[in-house]
Structure formats: structure tokens, C-alpha cells
Homo-oligomer: A and B are copies of this chain.
């Protein structure tokens, strides 16, 4: 049986979450997210965001959340600006297009886009004589951390936020792995690290991932822009995201946010990923991209890859022209130190 580093959804949920689900199992509540557990989770998330005026909704999964948010924001003739490697552009089986909207992909070597790219795209659209024949940029989607494990700095995120607001184009952040991003920002940016409150201040809508962050499942959407709040629950229901036993989401997010468990669990994963990264570096092995979060993307030759595959599960990410392969090792809230010890040892013997 191999030890899996394939993703951050290989295990169930944090012990506290399992306990709470067990403790509340036979309590009767009303459905669809209007119960007391959801109310409590909303209070805790608002508090963690430092804003009482945000709307908080709970959905089940990431694709569903992205589709629901984007559908709720865009007019029929609008599209969403997004890095070419953005999750909605590559790994959601065209869910956004199925909902009627074009993804306006921007080139991005490391998964990030820049304020200038957004500015150029929006100005370029309206400057074009034939703009009515083209899809209007109607919102910006970024992920934090990105699909390549990279993170935006405070300056980068602020610049994107500024250009979005100047153009009246809402900014949406996909935070499927938000905790790992925040934990990495602490390490990388120190006193200038981004916090949940920064996201609540700089975006129009973002979501706090649960599925990859220690919940069984669940994503918490935070809507900060008043203009985007109305009737969002209709969109959730239409998109199939309104869980009958909505309490399950409330119980889980309350458990994650009552005392900082969300961020604590992420910190551990980021620390373990750093150990893996350092082990590869020590062997002179390079990376596809320099990721400070819970994902590590070493480039292995055939022999190295085969050696690692004997005991460990990991994902193939990209085949390089020279025959080597960029692969992904992923830690999570669930990764035991011992697993990483074994992995590091294996790397050392490459």
C-alpha cells in the first residue's frame, strides 16, 4: 500500500469535525442552510473576516461554487478573465461555458495574472470598434493559491483589486486552498502577509475552501459587494448546490473557525511541504514552479520517478520535451510527520 501524496482530498475530515457531526447527528433542524449551525458558522466567519456586513453561503464543492458565483455575477454577453491555467478554464469540464459564459484566458507562466493584464483586457475591449461583436469582460477570477501553488503578494492583489474597481469589474477569488495560501503568505510575506480580512476588503466575492482544508466537503462563499448579494440563494438552488441537510456545512465550518483550527491545520501542511521541497533542492532537483504552499512540483527523470513511485503516490503534472516529468507532491491537514519523514528519506536516496 503506497503512501499517497496525490492530493489534499485523500482522507476524510479533521477529528473535531467528525466528532461534531457525531454529536449533533440526531438533533432535528430545518433544512437548506437556515439552521442554527449555519448561523453560528456565519457569525464565526464574519468575525474572522472582520466584517459584519458580508453575506456567507455554504456550498458543497468547488466546481459548483465557481459556477454558481460566476453565473450569478455575469450578464449573458459577459465573460470572465482568468489565467490560462485557472481551474475553471481547464479542470471543470466546461461548466462555465455550459452556463453560457466565455472564459477570457490570459497567459500566465506561474498561474498568476497581473493588474496590467486585467487593465489591458478591459480597455482593449472597449477601445475596439467592434466591441459589440466580442465578449465583454464582466469579472475577474483568480485563485489563491493558484493551481500552481503560487500566491499573490499584498501589492499584487491590491493592484488587481484597484484596477477591477476602477473598471467596475468584480473580483472573485477561488479559495479552494485558501488556508494553505494564507499560511504560506505568513512564511513568505511576514508582517505583510495577507489575511482573511484582506480578502474581505479587496475582493467582491471569494470562497473559503473546506474540502481540501480538513472538512469532509464544503466551501464557504463570502460576498462583500452589496450589488452581488441579492437572490444568491436562488442561484445556489438552481445550480444544485443547496444541500438539504445544510446543517452539515454549518457544523463543519463552525468547527473550523471557532478557534483558528482552519489556519492551524494549514500551517502544518505548509511546513511539511517545505520539508519535501528542501529535500528535493538538497538533491539538486529543480521545480516546474516555485510554490510555497502545500503543493511541490519537482522535475524528475525516469529513474527518479520510478524510484519514488515504488512507495509513494503522486501526480504526473507535465511531461517535458527532454523526457523528464514535472510531478506533484501534495500535503494536507492530514499528512502525518512520519509520512513526510519516509518521503524525505526516499528523496535523499535518489
* Nearest-CB residue, chain B, relative to A233: B132
Contact B94 A240 (CB under 8 A): no
Q: Which of B67, B231, B234, B244 contacts A217 (CB 8 A)?
A: B244
Contact B132 A245 (CB under 8 A): no
Q: A residues engaging B (CB < 8 A)? A: 3-4, 6-7, 9-13, 15, 18, 21-22, 24-32, 60-64, 67-68, 71-72, 75-77, 79, 90-95, 97-103, 129-130, 132-136, 211-212, 216-217, 231, 233-235, 237-245, 247-248, 313, 316, 334
Contact B25 A240 (CB under 8 A): no
* In the complex, chain B residues whose CB is within 8 Å of the CB of A211: 244-245
* In the complex, chain B residues whose CB is within 8 Å of the CB of A238: 76-77, 92-95, 98
For the complex of A and B, the 7 pairs showing the least CB-CB separation, nearest first, are A64-B240, A12-B25, A77-B234, A93-B238, A94-B135, A9-B244, A94-B102
Bound Cα distance A7, B93 (Å): 34
Contact A334 B26 (CB under 8 A): yes
A-B contacts, 30 listed (Cβ < 8 Å): A9-B245, A11-B26, A12-B21, A12-B24, A12-B247, A18-B21, A21-B21, A26-B334, A30-B313, A32-B132, A76-B98, A79-B94, A91-B130, A92-B237, A94-B102, A94-B238, A95-B237, A95-B240, A97-B101, A98-B99, A98-B100, A98-B238, A132-B234, A132-B242, A133-B237, A136-B231, A211-B244, A212-B244, A216-B248, A240-B240
* In the complex, chain B residues whose CB is within 8 Å of the CB of A129: 316
Bound Cα distance A98, B26 (Å): 36
